[in-house]
Amino acid sequence: MALKTAAQYHESLKTLHPTAYILGEKVENVHEHPLIKHMAASVAKTYELQHDPEGRKHLVTKSDLTGEEVSRFISFYKSPDDLLAKVRMLKHLAQTIGGCFMRCTGMDAINAVGIETHNCDQKYGTNYWQRLLDFISYIQTNDLVLFSGVTDVKGDRALRPSQQSDPDMYLRVVDRNDDGIVVRGAKIHQTGSLCAHWGLVVPTREMRETDKDYSVSFAFPSDAEGVIHVYGRGTLEARALDDCDLGNAEFGKFAPMVIFEDVFVPWDKVFLCGEYEYAGEMVRNFGNYHRHSHGGCKCGVGNVLIGAAAMAAEYNGLPNVSHINNKLAEMLKVTEAIYGCSIAASVESTVTPSGIYVADPVLSNTSKLYEGKELAEVIRMMIEIAGGTVADLPSEKDFDHPEIGPLLHKYLKGVEGVSTEDRVRIFRLIEKLAFESRDIVSNIHGAGSPETHRMTILKNADIEAKKKMARKLAGIDD
C-alpha cells in the first residue's frame, strides 16, 4: 500500500472503536470529541507532510523489510544516518506543529524491542525477532500509527512487581494457553493512544526471576477487547471544549491511562514472555532512544518559543532592545545545546547484533537532562519578554461582543501597524506553550525521570578511565 494521506488517516480512524472515557463519560465517536480531534490533527499532519516535498525528505525512508517507501516512524535505525534523520525529522515536525505529534514512542519502542528480541532468540532459540519483523512489515505495508505502552502505575515504588500487595500494579501475564496469553494491568502517560491503530508494550523496569510474569512485551490493536483508554486531564482543556481561545488551535496533545482488563494476545504478537533478564535492557534501550528523540522535538518547540517571544517583543514595540536580545541569545543557547547533543549521540552510535544502531547513551541523556532543567528557563524568558498580558486576556467571546468588543480592540492594541487580533493570537500561543501541563511535565519526566537520566550517564561514562587520565597527568604510578 502507498503512503497514506491525511484524509486516509482520518478515514482509518473511523474503523477503530476503542473503549474510551473522557471526563466521566464513555465516548463512542472518540475521534470526533473536541478534546481528541486536535490530537488527531497533529498525527494527521505527519501524514500530510510525507507528501510535501520538504516534509518527504524528513519523513520517508525505504524499508529493508518490504522494499517500499515507508514512514520513518515505523522503521528500524539501521545506521547512524537513520538516527540523524530521526532527530532532524522531529525538529522539522515540532517547528511545523508547535508541539507533540504523538508518534515517537512507537518508533523508539520497535527498535528497543528489536534489539532484545534478537538477543533473546540467540540465547533461548525463541522466535520473537521474526514475529516482530512480521508485525513491523504489516504496520509498514498499511502505513499505521503505533504508540508504546511503557510506564506502569507501580503501586508502592519501594517494592518490586512481585512484592506488591496488589499484583496488578505492574502489567502481567495472568494466563497462557496454546493460542496466546492473557494480560492484566495498566499503563499511564500513554501519549496518543487514541490516535494510534496499534500499541506496543515494553516492560517498565528491570526484572528478576520472581518477576517473570511481568517480563512481557506484545503488540495489540488500540481497540482490542478489554483495553480501556481513560483521558488524562490538562490545564487548558476547557477552552478546547468551547472550541475557542487556543493559541495553537489546530493541534494538541493528550496522554491517557490505558487499562488492560484480561486482554488476550495471540502468540504471533508476543515478543517477550518470561525471559526476565531482557526486560531491563529493553526499557533502557527505549529510554535512551526516547531521550535522543527529545533532542529533536524539544529543539523544534524551543524554536517556536523563541519565535513567539521575538514576535511579542515586536508587537509590543520593543524590537532590538538589548536585554531582550540577550534573552533570545540565551534561549538559543539552550535549544541548540539540546539539539546538538542528540545529533552527536547519532554520530557516536554503535551497532547491535540485530543490526539496529543504538544512540550514544551519555550524549542522549545529557540532552534530556539539559532539556528538563533549562527549557523551563527558556519558557520563563519567553513570558518575561511577552509581558503579563499573557496571563489574563479576556475571552474570545468578549472580543466578539458588539458592545465590549470594540473597546477591547482599542485598549489591547500594541504597536502601530499590527492589529489587536494578531497581537492577541501571539499572546494566546505563548499562553499555550507556557502553561499546557502535559508539555511542561514532559520536558522534565518525558522518557523517564531526571534521576534515571543521571544514573544512565554515570553507568556509561566510564569514570575509571577518566580517573586514570587524571592519575597519569598528576604523575601517579598505577
Answer yes or no: are the C-beta atoms of 382 and 308 closer than 8 Å. Answer: yes
User: For 434-460, what is each residue's pLDDT tens digit?
Assistant: 887 666 666 666 666 766 767 777 778
Lowest mean pLDDT segment, chosen from 289-298, 403-412, 448-457: 448-457
Distance CA 348, CA 350 (A): 7
Say if residue 392 is exposed, middle or buried (CB neighbours under 10 Å; 0-12, 13-18, 19+): exposed
Q: Work out the percent of the chain whose per-residue pLDDT is above 90.
A: 74
Note if the pTM is more than 0.85: yes
Who has greater pLDDT, 169 or 238?
Answer: 169
- Residue 30 identity: V
Share of the chain above pLDDT 70, in %: 93
Q: Where are the domains of the chain?
A: 6-82+99-278, 282-463
Q: Which residues on adjacent β-strands are paired with residue 187? A: 152, 258
Residue from 395, 376, 97, 91 nearest 249 by CA? 97
Instruction: Read off the pLDDT band of 396 (50, 70, 90).
Output: confident
Q: Which three cell numbers stand for residue 422?
A: 494578531
What pLDDT does 35 receive?
Answer: 86
Q: Given this chain, do its domains 6-82+99-278 and 282-463 carry the same CATH topology?
A: no
Residue 90 confidence class, pLDDT cut points 50, 70, 90: very high
Q: Which tens digit of pLDDT belongs to each residue from 20-72?
A: 999 999 999 999 998 888 889 999 999 999 999 999 999 999 999 999 999 99
- In this predicted structure, what is the pLDDT of residue 478? 79
CATH number for region 6-82+99-278: 2.40.110.10
Confidence check: pLDDT of 377 > 80: yes
Kindly state the average pLDDT of the residues 151-165: 95
- What pLDDT does residue 62 have? 95
Q: What is the tens place of the pLDDT at every residue in 247-280?
A: 655 666 677 899 999 999 999 999 999 999 999 9
Of 27, 142, 138, 47, residue with least CA distance to 96:
47
In terms of DSSP bridges, do strands 227-230 and 19-22 run parallel, antiparallel, or are they unpaired? parallel
In terms of Cβ atoms closer than 10 Å to its own Cβ (0-12, 13-18, 19+), residue 258 is: buried
State the pLDDT at residue 63: 95
Q: Residue 244: is its pLDDT beyond 70?
A: no
CATH 3.30.750.24 for the 282-463 domain, yes or no: no
Using one digit for the tens of pLDDT, what is the confidence trace for 346-376? 999 999 999 999 999 999 999 988 888 889 9
Given pLDDT bands bounded at 50, 70 and 90, which one contains residue 411? very high
State the pLDDT at residue 477. Answer: 86
pLDDT given for residue 48 in this prediction: 96
